[in-house]
Copies of this chain bind each other. A is one copy, B any other.
Amino acid sequence: MPLANTPKPPYYTVIFTSVKSNNDGYDEMSDKMVELVVKQSGFLGFESAKGEVGITVSYWESLEAIRNWYANTEHKEAQNKGRSDWYDSYTVRIAKVEREYSFNKG
């Protein structure tokens, strides 16, 4: 199930877009973060794709759930390593999802 299955809006999203300059050790850390994030209270799902830009969109029940994830000790270590080792640049956007619709070819 590659597309996230989210509840009826409203809910929150974190849009993380990035350009990496180095990948050493990144994939292991990324796998570890996925293992952790799925256990976070209020986590609803995520989608991720990589090209010239990497995009990860995660979905959350509340702003508090997002704050808790960003305050998670292991996630903070990963964020620090992201800035020192992997990312040339990134943008984090926090947004409130107001509407959602889906298409599925029968």
Contact = CB atoms under 8 A, between A and B. Distances in A.
What number of copies of this chain does the assembly contain?
A: 2
B92 A95 contact: no
B47 A49 contact: no
Contacts of A95: 13, 95-98
Contact of A93 (B2, B21, B91, B97): B97
A94 to B, nearest CB: 4
Contacts of A4: 17, 91
Contacts of A102: 89-92
A97 B15 CA distance: 9
B2 A53 contact: yes
Interface of A: 2-4, 6, 9, 13, 15, 17-19, 21, 47-55, 57, 83, 87-105
24 contacts: A2-B53, A3-B19, A3-B90, A9-B93, A13-B15, A15-B57, A15-B97, A47-B53, A48-B51, A48-B53, A48-B55, A49-B53, A55-B57, A83-B103, A87-B103, A88-B104, A89-B103, A89-B104, A91-B100, A91-B101, A92-B101, A93-B100, A94-B100, A95-B98
